[in-house]
Structure 1
Amino acid sequence: MKKVDARGLSCPEPVIRAKNAMESGDKEYEILVDNVVAKENVSRFATHQGYQVQATEQGDDILLKLTK
């Protein structure tokens, strides 16, 4: 499972990092973001790529688990 730390990055960088990770062809990813806009944008992108998204708040951060 690939893990991507996209905290502190403004859009579209979290989406780009997620996209680059997805090019590996894995079935599961964890993307860590720190704002709602990044959460929504990465979630939307992942859904369009055929992934299911589960968001879990971890303090000020949001962990997105993407599974295919």
Structure 2
Amino acid sequence: MKRVDARGLSCPEPVIQTKNAMASKEAEYEVLVDNVVAKENVSRFVMHQGYQVNVEEQGDDFLLKITK
């Protein structure tokens, strides 16, 4: 499973980092973001790629668990 830490980055950078990680074609990923816009944009992107996303709040951050 690949993990992407995209905290502190503004869009579109979290989506780009997620896309780059997904080039490995793994079945699971975790993406850590620190704002609602990044959470929504990454979620939308991965769903369009055929993945499911589960969001967990971790303090001020969001952990997106992405599965095929």
Give the shorter-chain TM-score range: over 0.9
Kindly provide the CA deviation profile for residues 15-67 of structure 1, in whole angstroms up to 9, marking residues without a partner as x.
00000000001000000000000000000000000000000000000000000
Identity %: 78
Which amino acid counterpart does residue 49 of structure 1 have in structure 2?
A: Q
User: In the alignment, which residue of structure 2 is the partner of 1:35?
Assistant: 35
TM-score by length of 1: 0.99
Q: Within the alignment, does 1:7 sit opposite 2:23 as a pair?
A: no
Question: Which structure 1 residue ranges, 5 or more long, are not aligned?
Answer: none
- Would you say how many aligned residue pairs link Structure 1 and Structure 2? 68
**TM-score, scaled relative to structure 2:** 0.99
- Runs of 4+ in structure 1 over 3 Å off: none
Gaps of 5+ in 2: none
Map 1:1-68; keep pairs closer than 5 Å: 1-68=1-68
Letter of the structure 2 residue corresponding to residue 58 of structure 1:
Q
